[in-house]
Structure 1
Amino acid sequence: MQTDIDPRSLIGRKAFDRDGHRIGTVDEVYLDDATGVPEWAALRTGLFGRDAFVPLEPSRVAADGLHVPYPKALIKDAPNLGVGRHLSPEQELRLYRHYDLDLPSAPSPGRDVGAVADGD
């Protein structure tokens, strides 16, 4: 993802899967505590508003919203981790595995990921 984007500007934007289908709306953006880099987005999906986490890298931001390079089914099957609090290293590891991403260096307390929400 472009690191010069203000993570708050993503909140409320539409999100699309790799085929261009709308999958939801960005509800929260999670920053790496150590670097401050936006790392994950929680998307409000479906009729009942379940949140699904998606990685912001290799996603891209465009004028119409956030484009996530994964199929809708994979995104909707992401681990249900709850929103509004830090992701623990273990939760983040589950997400890396779910999306088959290269694992970061060994998790540490500095790797916890904090949320940025629209009223923070």
Structure 2
Amino acid sequence: MFEADDIREWRDHDVVDADKKKIGSLEAVYVDTATDAPVFATVTVGMPTRRRLVFVPLTDATVGPGYLKVLWDKKLARNAPSIDVDGELPAEDEPQIFSHYGLAYSTGAAGERRLARR
């Protein structure tokens, strides 16, 4: 499994789907605030003048030589909710990201947000 502590080493490496089709480049990892486990990656996609960051789940992600492979299809990932390359994820947008992939969403026990960037 991809370890969040290794983000500096993996940043800018390719993120590919199960068929090894390139989705984009790894930008950051978001962890679950309750467990500190890596949950989503932000992946840089788009043309050089119109880049954005899409969110891709890290469930069962694996690393290969120079890439991070995720289970999600390239097209689904590229159509995922996104933020600007210098943007931040608003707490109210978290449920949309989970929903896009058919994943259950719930806030933390005290109502706190679910994702934090590492």
Report how many residues are paired.
Answer: 113
Give the TM-score normalised by the residue count of structure 2: 0.77
- The 10-residue stretch of structure 1 (78-87 or 9-18) with the greater mean CA deviation from structure 2: 78-87
The equivalent residue for 2:54 is: 52
Query: What is the rounded CA distance, in whole Å, between the counterparts of 2:43 and 2:28 in structure 1?
Result: 7
Query: What is the rounded CA distance, in whole Å, between the counterparts of 1:113 and 1:57 in structure 2?
Result: 14
Query: What is the rounded CA distance, in whole Å, between the counterparts of 2:90 and 2:32 in structure 1?
Result: 10
The alpha carbon displacement at 1:114 in A equals 1.4
Q: Is the 8 A contact 2:83 2:89 kept in 1?
A: no
Q: Is the 8 A contact 1:81 1:91 kept in 2?
A: no
Percent identical among aligned pairs is 31
| Residues 12 and 29 (structure 1), Cα distance of their counterparts in 2 relative to 1, 3 Å cut | same
Gap runs ≥5 in structure 2: none
Give the TM-score normalised by the residue count of structure 1: 0.76
Gap runs ≥5 in structure 1: none
The equivalent residue for 1:100 is: 102
